[in-house]
Amino acid sequence: MALTLFTLRTVPPQRLTDAPGLTLSEAFARMIALSGRAYMFTRTGYVMHLLMTDPPMGASEFQSRNGSDWAARMEIVEQVCAHGLGEFQVIADEQYHRERAA
């Protein structure tokens, strides 16, 4: 199975700050760092939560009910990358390269 790579873009997009070739975990870590937030995962009962400083306005809580800590964290990473924290967009590298070629 091929590894899917992603591009992290600022909103609005600025070509000079695009970061292609990232795994989803790397895109998440870079997004958190660039936004100046600190974070940690915690589990309460059956639910894994993402706690972060300065959570984005209007965002629902990022959480997972997956019983595996690793899988729960990855579900939350996917949620955050899909949301973009109001500052970023995460897209597949393939899409990024198609857009640049157009």
Mean pLDDT of 14-28: 91
Q: For the segment 37-89, what is each residue's pLDDT rounded down to a tens digit?
A: 999 999 999 999 999 998 888 777 899 999 999 999 999 999 999 999 989 99
Q: What pTM was estimated for this model as a whole?
A: 0.89
- Cβ atoms of 79 and 62 within 8 Å: the answer is yes
* pLDDT of 1: 61
**DSSP string for residues in the chain:** -PPP-EEEEESS--GGG-EEEE-HHHHHHHHHHHTT--EEEEEETTEEEEEESSPPTTPPPPEE--SSHHHHHHHHHHHHHHHGGGTEEEEEHHHHHHHHH-
* pLDDT of 102: 80
